[in-house]
Amino acid sequence: MKFKIANRNEDLFTSSELALGVLAGVALGLAAGILLAPNSGKDTRDKIAGAVNDQAENLSDQWNKTATKAKEAFDSAKAKAGIAVNKAADTADKLSAKAESKADDLADESRSLLDRAKDALKIN
């Protein structure tokens, strides 16, 4: 007797397919239970309408929560990016000021050396 080892990619459901199947089964079971329950048509329709409204409200709440979290994440990332840009600008300003100061120092030193060279030539 030979046994075939199941190839996970071909023979088994993925977790999302399994979850979707379970949800579909639950929904069908609930629908069948409501439709086959010994209630009047109006009561059954009211139950179905109530369940649909409840699910619509839950979906709307989840959507709003997700949208709020996404906006908060975006705002946080935007703020962090702004902080990084400000730090980079501050660093660039400091480096620019330091370079300008060094350039001024070098210019002063060059003038001083030039003046000493002129003085040395006058003496000779």
pTM of the model: 0.44
Q: What is the pLDDT along the chain (124 residues), one digit of tens a residue?
A: 555 555 555 555 677 777 778 888 888 887 787 777 777 778 877 887 888 888 888 888 888 888 888 899 999 999 999 999 999 999 999 999 999 999 999 999 999 988 888 888 876 5
CA distance readout (Å), 11 to 5, 19, 24, 114, 117: 10, 16, 20, 88, 91
Determine the 3-state secondary structure of 5 from DSSP: coil
